[in-house]
């Protein structure tokens, strides 16, 4: 009997009269990158073999031969001793070839009631499920770092900006808590996405199902899937679960990038709200004075490649007729790259956030400039009976006057302020202070230190659930 792998060492050789050219072999092979799925491929194969045995397709001897050979293959891979061959195209055929070398005819029976189409879809889902769990752990670590820093800075006053113009004073703790909220929603998206990733395609075979009496639920249980992909055509063809993950990953990177942008801005000597430890920065090869925030800049830059992966996968899918097409082999590299980028970025950000050195006096000085308590003065006049629009107008005139004099609102005397509204009294000073401004915003979601602390406590409790 001809060895099924003997020609070009492929699984479909008897149909062909000449081997594929070297160029085509290189062009169509995926083993260079999909070998990353190897352990999941083995896990899926073992569950499949066990099920085939339970329905009487494989006998005891076959199952034992397959299990033993797979255990050996796994340890060869883990020890880096497995010999990967591009002639065997992909991870599935590489492992299957080694299996038949070790387990003979029993090995050749493994592919009964299965196709690489449902096999690869299963492998990716298993791999992505594990990756999602790891990314969730990293997100959690980053959120704890943000919450710890936020708590330390629940009273640290900084200017809040709109249009990058000083708007109203806020606390740095409030600002950091905002990012914890963003990453919290990102985590919810991952949880939601994971439910749809975690369904079993195996059993769909090439596209139409199989004529063997398979037990898909048994395989799903063995592999920890929450359900089945219920249509065989859909099971082997769609990669929407991977696209959804890349969309969630893009949102995470978008949030990381905004934080990165702020860190860069805050670290600029012109702003100097913070400093970052030297270990996150690099120098310049020509300018000896430079200390550059390379890590946040690079994260901002890497956001682009994650968006790129999302667009690549959306585009990959859009023109494909049902069911499986070779196009889908292109799903892996963008997906792997997304997970790698996210993993590295979240790990380093959690560490970096803890390292932020806050320059509270610089933040405070910036908040004290730029008329940041103008809204508080307007609110004060409203409390004294003026309509808000009139109060707004009176304060606008006072700000203009102060700007012309080159001073800020708290620097104006009572008499000067009274020119703009006779309602101004001695108690106005409290309204014009930075502390008065932040502590007045005393409701859920407001920047008052007590509210920031309460919000942090709620976030921590949610993390512990």
Contacts of residue 84, defined as CB under 8 A and 6 or more positions apart, other chains included, come to 31, 35, 94
Q: Which stretch binds ligand ARG (CB under 6 A): 53-61, 181-189, 322-330, 432-440?
A: 322-330
Distance of alpha carbon 24 from alpha carbon 125, whole angstroms: 28
Asked if 232 is part of the footprint of ligand ARG (rule: CB under 6 A), the reply reads no
Give yes or no for a cis peptide into 142 (omega within 30° of 0): no
Q: Per CB under 6 A, does 120 bind ligand ARG?
A: yes
Nearest distance, CB of residue 165 and ligand ARG, angstroms: 52
Q: Helix (H, G, I), strand (E, B), or coil: what is residue 160? A: strand
Under the binding rule (CB under 6 A), the answer on residue 341 touching ligand ARG is no
The tokens for 45 are: 């194969």
Which residues touch 407 (CB under 8 Å, ≥6 apart)? Answer: none
User: In the block, which residue shows the tokens 């970096």?
Assistant: 352
Contacts 24+ apart (CB under 8 A), 396-404: 398/374, 399/371, 399/374, 402/371, 403/371
Say how far apart CA 73 and CA 78 lie, in whole Å.
Answer: 9
- Which two structure tokens, joined as six digits, stand for 200? 């079993």
Distances (CA, A) of 461 to 296, 358, 465: 29, 26, 7
Residue closer to ligand ARG by CB (options 148, 234) is 234
Q: Does 122 bind ligand ARG (CB under 6 A)?
A: no
Residue 117 binds to ligand ARG (criterion: CB under 6 A): yes
Angle at CA of residue 262, ends 258 and 263, nearest 5°? 115
Tell me which stretch binds ligand ARG (CB under 6 A): 18-26, 113-121, 252-260, 409-417: 113-121
Asked if 42 and 73 touch (Cβ cutoff 8 Å), the reply is yes
Is residue 94 a contact point for ligand ARG (CB under 6 A)? no
Q: Of 114, 120, 119, 76, whose CA–CA distance to 98 is shortest?
A: 76
For ligand ARG, the closer of residues 34 and 244 by Cβ is: 34
> Taken in order 317, 323, 327, 333, is the CA torsion positive or negative?
positive
By the rule CB under 6 A, 41 interacts with ligand ARG: no
300 binds ligand ARG (CB under 6 A): no
Q: Which is nearer to ligand ARG, 120 or 438 (CB)?
A: 120
Q: How far is the CB of 213 from ligand ARG (least distance, A)?
A: 24
Which of 116, 125, 175, 239 is in the footprint of ligand ARG by CB under 6 A? Answer: 116
Three-state DSSP class for residue 282: strand
Smallest separation, CB 246 to ligand ARG (Å)? 17
How many C-beta atoms surround the C-beta of residue 282 within 10 A? 14
Query: Residue 173, SS3?
Result: helix
Q: Does residue number 111 form part of the binding site for ligand ARG (CB under 6 A)?
A: no
- Candidate segments 54-62, 286-294, 325-333, 386-394, binder of ligand ARG by CB under 6 A: 325-333
Stretches 68-76, 242-250, 320-328, 406-414: which one binds ligand ARG (CB under 6 A)? 320-328
Binds ligand ARG (CB under 6 A): choice among 45, 232, 250, 328: 328
Least separation in angstroms between residue 196's CB and ligand ARG is: 20
Residue 199 found at the interface with ligand ARG (CB under 6 A): no
> Which of 16, 388 has the CB closer to ligand ARG?
16
Judged by CB under 6 A, which stretch of 67-75, 116-124, 277-285, 426-434 contacts ligand ARG?
116-124
Helix (H, G, I), strand (E, B) or coil at 273: coil
Q: Which is nearer to ligand ARG, 122 or 153 (CB)?
A: 122
Cα 113 to Cα 123: distance, rounded to the nearest angstrom: 16
Of 20 and 144, nearer to ligand ARG (C-beta) is: 20
**Which CB sits closer to ligand ARG, 110 or 149?**
110
**Please, which residue, 37 or 248, has the CB nearer to ligand ARG?**
37
- Please answer whether residues 276 and 293 qualify as being in contact, where contact means their C-beta atoms are separated by less than 8 angstroms: yes
Which residues are known to be catalytic?
163, 284
Indicate whether 45 belongs to the interface with ligand ARG (CB under 6 A). no
Cβ count near 429 (within 10 Å): 12
The answer to whether residue 372 forms part of the interface with ligand ARG (CB under 6 A) is no
Q: Please tell me the count of residues contacting ligand ARG according to CB under 6 A.
A: 10
What is the total residue count of the chain? 465
Q: For 88-137, give the DSSP string.
A: G-SHHHHHHHHHHHHHHHHHHHTTTT--HHHHHHHHHHHHHHHHHHHHHH
Measure the CA–CA gap between 430 and 25, rounded to whole angstroms: 77
When asked if residue 90 is in the footprint of ligand ARG (CB under 6 A), the reply is yes
User: Binding ligand ARG by CB under 6 A: which of 5, 9, 10, 30?
Assistant: 30
Would you tell me which residues interact with ligand ARG (CB under 6 A)?
30, 34, 90, 116-117, 120, 324, 326, 328-329
């Amino acid at each position: 009997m001809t060895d099924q792998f003997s020609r070009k060492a492929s699984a479909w050789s008897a149909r062909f009269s000449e081997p594929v050219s070297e160029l085509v072999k290189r062009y169509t092979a995926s083993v260079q990158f999909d070998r990353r799925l190897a352990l999941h491929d083995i896990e899926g194969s073992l569950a499949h073999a066990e099920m085939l045995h339970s329905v009487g397709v494989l006998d005891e001897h076959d199952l034992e031969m397959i299990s033993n050979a797979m255990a050996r293959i796994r340890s060869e891979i883990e020890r880096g001793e497995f010999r990967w061959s591009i002639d065997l195209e992909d991870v599935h055929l590489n492992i299957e070839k080694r299996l038949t070398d070790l387990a003979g005819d029993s090995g050749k029976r493994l592919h009964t009631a299965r196709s690489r189409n449902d096999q690869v879809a299963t492998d990716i889902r298993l791999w992505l499920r594990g990756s999602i769990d790891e990314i969730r752990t990293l997100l959690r670590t980053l959120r704890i770092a943000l919450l710890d820093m936020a708590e330390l800075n629940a009273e640290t006053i900084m200017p809040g900006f709109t249009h990058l113009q000083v708007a109203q004073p806020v606390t740095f703790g409030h600002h950091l808590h905002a990012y914890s909220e963003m990453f919290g929603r990102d985590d919810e998206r991952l949880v939601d996405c994971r439910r749809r990733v975690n369904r079993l395609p195996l059993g769909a075979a090439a596209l139409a199902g199989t004529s063997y009496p398979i037990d898909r639920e048994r395989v799903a249980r063995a592999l920890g899937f929450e359900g089945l992909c219920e249509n065989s055509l859909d099971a082997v063809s769609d990669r929407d679960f991977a696209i959804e993950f890349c969309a969630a990953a893009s949102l995470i990177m978008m949030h990381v990038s905004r934080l990165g942008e702020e860190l860069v801005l805050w670290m600029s000597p012109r702003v100097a709200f913070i400093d970052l430890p030297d270990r996150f920065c690099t120098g310049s090869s020509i300018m000896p004075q430079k200390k550059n925030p390379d890590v946040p800049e690079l994260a901002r830059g890497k956001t682009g490649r994650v968006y790129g992966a999302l667009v690549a996968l959306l585009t990959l899918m859009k023109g494909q007729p049902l069911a499986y097409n070779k196009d889908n082999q292109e799903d892996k590299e963008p997906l792997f790259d997304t997970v790698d980028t996210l993993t590295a970025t979240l790990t380093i950000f959690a560490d970096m956030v803890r390292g932020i050195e806050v320059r509270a006096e610089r933040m405070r000085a910036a908040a004290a400039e730029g008329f940041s308590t103008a809204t508080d003065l307007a609110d004060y006049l409203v409390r004294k009976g003026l309509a808000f629009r009139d109060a707004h107008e009176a304060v606008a005139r006072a700000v203009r006057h102060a700007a012309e004099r080159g001073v800020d609102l708290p620097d104006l005397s009572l008499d000067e302020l009274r020119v703009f509204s006779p309602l101004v009294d001695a108690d106005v000073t409290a309204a014009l202070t930075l502390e008065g401004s932040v502590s007045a915003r005393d409701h859920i979601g407001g920047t008052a230190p007590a509210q920031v602390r309460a919000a942090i406590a709620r976030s921590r409790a949610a993390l512990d659930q």
